[in-house]
Amino acid sequence: MQQQSAFAKPWSCKTNLGISVFHAAKPAAPILLYLPPGPVLPEYPEEEDRVISTLREASATTVVRINYRASSVHQYPTPCHDVLLGLDWVRDHMLLDEFQRPYLARMGVCGELVGGSLATMLALTECRLGESRIGAAAVNNPLVDWVFPDELPVVRPEDLPEPLYGDETALLSDEDLAGSLASVETGQDAAQQGQKPKRKRAPKAPPPTAWQTYGDNDVIPTLTLSAERDVLFRKPDDYFDRFASPMHFFRSPHAQLLYPQPDYPTTAQQLDDLLDMETQLALSHYATFEDNLNVGLKAPPALPTLSRCRAYARHYPPAGTRLSLPVWNITIGLQSPLSDTTLELAKMVRRSIARQTLKSHSGRSRWHDAAEKKQYEDFAHDRVQLHSYQGIALWTQQDENTKWEQRVQQVGTWMKQRLDPAFT
């Protein structure tokens, strides 16, 4: 970085984690964590330096870049552990006053793609009241659900199978956990009075998803995203983890892994047990001889298959955790294959903030009526800003996204306002 007022200095943690610090022009500036896009894109060091410089100037913050590891050697959960270690390092070494005493502060975090996923994870889990916490999050094209169910054959919602294992609630993921008691009672009364349900028209085929429509783009094609998933995760179970796929904090996955049933030779074993010892030894000898001939011919264990299933809503944050979700600035490209999941993230976070605010203000977990619902949803809408742009709209793809600087400046200005001590 060429600015005279900024410099980068590598630091070492227990895991040789690299941390670069780009100081603000003024001392005691707020801290903004920057998480690089990760291995989904080739490295663009010059473009990334421009993004950091623009963020630093517009936000008037000290930008700390956490150079987390993510590769075939450092698979998940290593990226999650690295950013958590980086956050701990910032708390221990940078949130100190002139007498080297620690103080509490609200920090910002931002990133796109894999960095956006990790920024989302930090914002959702490191926002505990009474601690130095994430108070503002800005994510662009975040990879918040590595399951990628849109790769699977389309199934109509009414035909989706139930997940093999129960989940936290019995409400489908599209349903509002804070739904009005009045609407629930109205539906129950109608059922008790024996009213005939209105005849429904045959459902139309669902429109193609963003993953299906924009999967062949030149910047982040879905084939690249799927291949990168196979590199970054040791086994399929790992990308169902909520820290790796933070969308799963709010709902269960839209797909599940089906494992083949093991073939237990119980019947043959039971028959052998009925034979005398001499016959058993003879059979065992020939079986061992046959096994030696077939060494290397045995089929490898069958892999699980991914299959669509219903998704159910989850309560987040959990009660009694003192987690208070930060404010958000979420951006997405309208032609990005990740646009659907990014829009869903904004919807889920808004819904969670509205429900949590209702609970803290009234002690209730359900709306009384539509007017109350609108009041809290408007509040949540202001806390979670969503901006959509033409194209893929990645910050580091500056040839494709000619307005990148203007948009990054907007994010920086937003971050400056949200990290101001006067903001509540």
Closest alpha carbon to 395 in 8, 34, 31, 7: 34
Residue 200 has pLDDT above 70, yes or no: no
Q: Is residue 317 part of a domain?
A: no
Give per-residue pLDDT as tens, 15-51: 578 999 999 988 889 999 999 999 999 988 999 999 9
Residues counted in the chain: 424
Q: Is residue 241 part of a domain?
A: no
Structure-block tokens of residue 254: 């839209």
Q: What is each CA distance from 133 to 85, 168, 212, 313, in whole angstroms?
A: 14, 27, 37, 26
Give per-residue pLDDT as tens, 127-160: 999 999 999 999 999 999 999 988 888 888 889 9
pLDDT band at 5 (very low <50, low <70, confident <90, very high): very low
Q: Is residue 97 part of a domain?
A: yes
Residue 43 is predicted with a pLDDT of 87
- CA–CA separation, 325 and 315 (whole Å): 13
Q: Is residue 60 part of a domain?
A: yes
Structure-block tokens of residue 81: 């552990």
| Least confident interval from 189-198, 253-262, 357-366 | 189-198
Burial of 274 from C-beta contacts in 10 A (0-12 / 13-18 / 19+) = exposed
Residues 6 or more apart in contact with residue 33 via CB below 8 angstroms: 63, 64, 65, 66, 83, 86, 87, 90, 107, 108, 109, 110, 119, 122, 134
pLDDT band at 273 (very low <50, low <70, confident <90, very high): low
Into how many domains does the chain fold?
1
Q: Is residue 41 part of a domain?
A: yes
Q: Is residue 105 part of a domain?
A: yes
Residue 260 is predicted with a pLDDT of 86
Residue 108 is predicted with a pLDDT of 99
Backbone φ and ψ of 385, nearest 5°: -90, 140
50-72 mean pLDDT: 97
Q: Which residues pair with 31 in a beta bridge?
A: 62
Closest alpha carbon to 238 in 303, 147, 173: 147
The enclosing domain of 390 has a CATH number of 3.40.50.1820
Give per-residue pLDDT as tens, 212-232: 999 999 999 999 999 999 999
Residue 283 has pLDDT above 90, yes or no: no
Q: Is residue 25 part of a domain?
A: yes
Q: Is residue 248 part of a domain?
A: no
| Least confident interval from 2-11, 70-79, 393-402 | 2-11
Give per-residue pLDDT as tens, 322-335: 999 999 999 999 99
pTM here? 0.86
Residue 10 has pLDDT above 90, yes or no: no
Residue 388 belongs to domain spanning: 18-151+322-418
